[in-house]
A = this chain, B = another copy of it.
Amino acid sequence: MDQAALKQEISNSYGSPCVVIDLDKVEANIAKLQGQCDAAGVKNRPHVKTHKSPELARMQISAGASGITCQKLGEAEVMVDGGLDNILISYNLLGQEKMERLAALSKRANIAVVADNPVVLEALSSAGAMAGQPINVLVECDTGQKRAGVETAGEAVSLAKQIGASADLSFKGLMFYPPVDGWPVTQSFFDEAKAGIADAGLSAEIVSTGGTPNLVNLGQLDGATEHRSGTSIFNDRMMMACGAATLDECALQVYATVVSRAGPERGILDSGSKTLTSDPGGLDGFGYILEYPDARIKGFSEEHGFLDLSSSGAKPEVGEIVRVVPNHVCVVVNMVDRLVTLRGGRIVGELPVAARGRIS
């Protein structure tokens, strides 16, 4: 089927805008990631925050992934419901309600969580007591992102000891999310922490690194056991910008319609911040339009995408359907309840975004 016919069929069947993934590219991206992890000698624990689909997670496991990563407990619950196991929840969990859910989930599947402070450890201990089995905990370590994570190896060792000393917790290792240029610092941090942990009679069974832009660094941390990559399953304009993916490896596109051309050098797409999101991803413009690469999506209303066509020789007509590679694919998937799927250039069905909106 040619592109024009496919665009028309998607619009006729699902309306516009429509978020579409190419399963051939998805499978190639899954296989590529697995190959990168295999070549580096680390396990592959893909992050499902990007796709939020148990079906795609099962494809990742079938391709060789050892387990999965979730960012929220609610995502992990959906994944366990979908038959997934060996799940790292890479987030500080807190609160009575979450501890009850964590205790219940830990009895259904192999779950590990992270912590970067004693308050979280105290909460997790209560979950372990409720579950009647220890909660598996990794210490989250920060080596430059300034997000969550202890900033020194000494703090990591201190938390590891607290975990080791609790009958309701089980120390499993260390989690890193290094900056792309921060792997030497991460090595120093890890070496110091490893020594302190050994002195305490403990050992890090899991040493986890993360990030799709960090795939270029796989194998650079001596002692790493696994890597967490989310975005690589679909890729996006950010991944193109950092060199982690080519345009051809971008498996998700937003099919959108030009609904207005009220000025000669501008137009309106039927996709605004409630579809493409306001996440700039550090880039200029809010997406790459395959048919008009020199058109710039310069901003959004909620349902309007503002096209600046002044640098685009060819300009779209009203009614024309275009395909947009978003800046940040993970947040776009989270806007919709289903993804339309292609294979061999034809529509094959729909995939529910089962864990969409599980913010808690």
Contact = CB atoms under 8 A, between A and B. Distances in A.
Contacts of A20: none
Interface stretch (A9-17, A128-136, A215-223): A9-17
Quickly give the copy total for this chain. 2
B302 A262 contact: no
Contact of A271 (B97, B278, B359): B359
A296 interface: no
A95 B11 contact: yes
A273 B262 contact: no
B12 A97 contact: yes
Given A148-B304, A257-B94, A303-B72, A360 B15 contact: yes
A151 B91 CA distance: 50
A261 B147 contact: no
A170 B160 CA distance: 72
A303 B71 contact: yes
Given A273-B277, A274-B334, A337-B357, A49 B12 contact: no
Contacts of A279: 273, 278
Interface in A259-314: 259-263, 266, 268, 270-271, 273-275, 277-280, 301-304, 306
A268 B71 contact: no
B261 A117 contact: yes
Interface string A82-100: 0000000001111111100
A302 B71 CA distance: 9
A94 B319 CA distance: 7
Given A72-B303, A120-B318, A147-B304, A331 B263 contact: no
Given A15-B97, A335-B359, 20 more contacts: A11-B97, A12-B96, A15-B101, A15-B360, A16-B98, A16-B360, A18-B360, A49-B303, A71-B303, A91-B270, A92-B259, A92-B260, A94-B318, A94-B319, A116-B260, A119-B317, A148-B259, A148-B262, A274-B357, A302-B334
9 contacts: A11-B95, A12-B95, A92-B270, A95-B319, A116-B260, A146-B263, A148-B268, A149-B260, A302-B331
Interface of A: 11-18, 49, 71-72, 74, 91-98, 101, 116-117, 119-120, 123, 142, 146-151, 257, 259-263, 266, 268, 270-271, 273-275, 277-280, 301-304, 306, 317-319, 330-331, 334-337, 357, 359-360
